[in-house]
Structure 1
Amino acid sequence: MNGSHGSTAPSGIDARFLTRNGHAARQLAALLVRQGADGVGGRLPRVRDFAERLGVGNGTVQAGLRLLEEAGAIKTVARGHLGTFLVAADRAALWRLSGLGTLLAAMPLPYSRRYEGLATGLRVAFEDAGAPFAMTFRRGAAARIAALVEGKVELAVLSRFAADRMVERQPVELIADLGPATYAGAHGVLLRPGATLGSPRLRVAVDDSSEDQRMLAERFFAHRTAVEWVPCSPVQLREVFAQGRADATVWNLDEVPGQLGAEVQVLPLGDELTRDLAVRHASAALIGRAQEEEEGAGALAAVRNVLDLSTVTAVQGEVLRGERVPAY
């Protein structure tokens, strides 16, 4: 902040933004954040429209806009009867002044390079958007959803398949679908040496923390009456097969360790419905709590407008090709 424009409060916040006019400026910052890049170059709403939306007087809105300009968060130009136009915006400054805070996302454990690329892509996209962003890693969609519903995080990353099911059951909503192959590359059927799909009884490895993996496995082996489910996490998969405790599974091939051995057979998914489920599992989805705030007031509403999904997928692709070191 420019020291010539007022003092700084003990908390580190410019004291001007603690006044009535400052409060209006912070509300205006939140509204402008929601516009994202589309707002730059466009005409601002009329002062009286801002005033009606915020429930304040015209003079308070004008003072709030001046504060944002003095802080370097925006630059406007008046064009007579055409109105006032937003010609530049510092998104990081707007986000900071808006009070929207840091967005914490619950991510899947980075078992695979694809997950590492996803985490890296999200970090870069949020940085480019000027939005403070941090991650916590939790195994299993249920754990990530619990953290979201309990208010421990603002965002959660799941497969699109899991997200659709959770939206039906929990007070959460879809923020963004990141597209094909952003969550998983492909799924396949794994068979240990000596086992066949025609065996009279199969022990099938299943990750109880992953609703997606369990659903795919149950759907694929549904026609078999003699199936024993063997609990298994991604890090245990190699050991479970090596010790002969499981005969088969349906698994995300990104998570299959290279040391599983060439003797383990990898077969394609054959059933059309199972393949459809696998496609939905392969797309990453970003979800948040269903918004209770007044429209436009929430950070998640801002995410929809400022997050560039193409940045996420481009960076993830660079990580997958070895062109970028994962950093998250």
Structure 2
Amino acid sequence: MGDKFYKKKGIAIENIAAELYLLNCNDRLPTMIDLQEKYDLSRGTVQNALSYLKDEKAIETKSRGHLGTFIEFIDYKKLQYFAGADQVAGTMPLPYSKLYEGLATGLYLMFKEQNIKLNLAFIRGSNERIEATEKEQFDFGIVSRFAAEQEIASGHNITVSLAFGPQTYLSKHILIFADKSRQEIEDGMTVGIDKDSLDHFYLTKELVKDNEVVLVDYPANQLVHAIREGEIDAGVWNYDEIVEKGYHDLHYIDLPLEKEHLAISEAVLVCSSQNKMIQAICKKNITIEKMHDIQLQVKAGTMIPRF
């Protein structure tokens, strides 16, 4: 009986701590009845959980009579701990560029500052990352704004919690040719396309829409090898890797800048629409300005990547 009571109290503390984490100072505290009904708890259990959080200095409240009870102080670190949210799991692209290394480092360092352990999984293909995040196999995923908006418009149950701004995902895409005399897509060419990447799939389809070409399914990160080996005639790839790895032998052209390209260049953090706690944790602990600074330092070589 005693173990059951303490287990129930622990679950109540965890749920109510998560509920309060979403609030700010001067917000109205949910009523006892609201919390009882939402979490299927008795009045006494809710009172015990709130008293515990107050005793632990996680919150301070003040009654304003008929207006209700309001929050005067919140210690988000303590609420985070009591909510069992002291570690998060995220997924992002393979860190083959300095921008990606900077993103991973920024996430790692900012969560570490708040005593949150970050577990990062590097998964190729925005489709896979979005699906895993939507299913809550991961708490968040890093994709381009373009990919996120496309999937949200398609009915996927994700939300953009943070948008880091243009050129935080990549600087630009380019079109690489195996034949150095080529300057545009021509009929009869074989062109690499990555069907797992929303960005790559869209860009490639747009480039070849007026030509009769053969599309060959290739992971985007293997396109450079495929072009060098003469397996395909052309393919779209990330300019950052070309520059950073010194691929001076490759012949490429810039893509005409379209509105969609800005969305493709911007990194965003997506969460399941249902996971309000994780959305709040990410918003409260990750700052856009700091991420920009860390990315610049990693890119310049003045900060060693850590993740």
Query: What interval of TM-score do these two structures reach, taking the shorter chain for normalisation?
Result: 0.7 to 0.9
Deviates more, 1:156-165 or 1:246-255: 246-255
1:249 is aligned, of 235, 250, 268, to: 235
Structure-2 residue corresponding to 1:4: none
Instruction: State how far apart, in whole Å, the 2-side matches of 1:301 and 1:280 are.
Output: 21
Structure-1 residue corresponding to 2:280: 302
Deviates more, 1:232-241 or 1:50-59: 50-59
Structure-1 residue corresponding to 2:92: 107
Asked if the contact 2:175/2:253 (under 8 Å) is kept, the reply is: yes
1:204 is aligned, of 163, 188, 191, to: 191
Taking structure 2 as the reference length, what is the TM-score of the superposition?
Answer: 0.80
Structure-2 residue corresponding to 1:53: 34
Instruction: State how far apart, in whole Å, the 2-side matches of 1:148 and 1:88 are.
Output: 29
Instruction: State how far apart, in whole Å, the 2-side matches of 1:59 and 1:169 are.
Output: 41
Query: What code does the residue aligned with 1:252 have?
Result: N
- Note if 1:140 corresponds to 2:125: yes
Structure-2 residue corresponding to 1:6: none
Seen in structure 2, the aligned counterparts of structure 1 residues 301 and 208 have a Cα distance that, compared at 3 Å, is closer
* Aligned-partner SS, 2:72: strand
Instruction: State how far apart, in whole Å, the 2-side matches of 1:309 and 1:93 are.
Output: 20
Aligned residues: 296
1:123-138, aligned counterparts within 5 Å?
Answer: 123-138=108-123
Deviation of 1:205 after TM superposition, in Å, equals 2.5
Instruction: State how far apart, in whole Å, the 1-side matches of 2:185 and 2:134 are.
Output: 43
* Aligned-partner SS, 2:235: strand
Query: What code does the residue aligned with 2:18 have?
Result: A
Deviation string 1:232-263 (CA, Å, 9 cap, x unpaired) is: 33443332222222332222212336567434
Deviation of 1:212 after TM superposition, in Å, equals 0.8
Deviation string 1:175-205 (CA, Å, 9 cap, x unpaired) is: 2222211211111222332333275532322
Deviation string 1:2-26 (CA, Å, 9 cap, x unpaired) is: xxxxxxx9xxxxx996464x55443
Instruction: State how far apart, in whole Å, the 1-side matches of 2:185 and 2:130 are.
Output: 37
Query: What code does the residue aligned with 1:253 have?
Result: Y
2:201 is aligned, of 181, 200, 214, to: 214
* Aligned-partner SS, 1:302: helix
- Note if 1:28 corresponds to 2:16: yes
Regions of 4+ moved over 6 Å: 56-59, 79-84
Deviation string 1:99-146 (CA, Å, 9 cap, x unpaired) is: 346321121111111111111112223334554432111111122233
Deviation string 1:33-69 (CA, Å, 9 cap, x unpaired) is: 223xxx3xx33635xx432331278876664344224
Instruction: State how far apart, in whole Å, the 1-side matches of 2:14 and 2:245 are.
Output: 54
Asked if the contact 1:157/1:287 (under 8 Å) is kept, the reply is: yes
* Aligned-partner SS, 2:22: helix
Deviation of 1:285 after TM superposition, in Å, equals 1.9
- Note if 1:281 corresponds to 2:264: yes
Asked if the contact 2:223/2:237 (under 8 Å) is kept, the reply is: no
* Aligned-partner SS, 1:229: strand
Deviation string 1:269-311 (CA, Å, 9 cap, x unpaired) is: 22x5xx22221111112222231x7xxxx42342364243323
Instruction: State how far apart, in whole Å, the 2-side matches of 1:231 and 1:106 are.
Output: 23
Asked if the contact 1:24/1:61 (under 8 Å) is kept, the reply is: yes
- Note if 1:93 corresponds to 2:78: yes
Structure-2 residue corresponding to 1:12: none
Instruction: State how far apart, in whole Å, the 1-side matches of 2:230 and 2:130 are.
Output: 33
- Note if 1:320 corresponds to 2:303: no
Instruction: State how far apart, in whole Å, the 1-side matches of 2:283 and 2:249 are.
Output: 49
Instruction: State how far apart, in whole Å, the 1-side matches of 2:117 and 2:5 are.
Output: 23
Deviates more, 1:181-190 or 1:22-31: 22-31
Gaps of at least 5 residues in structure 2 are none
Asked if the contact 1:105/1:154 (under 8 Å) is kept, the reply is: yes
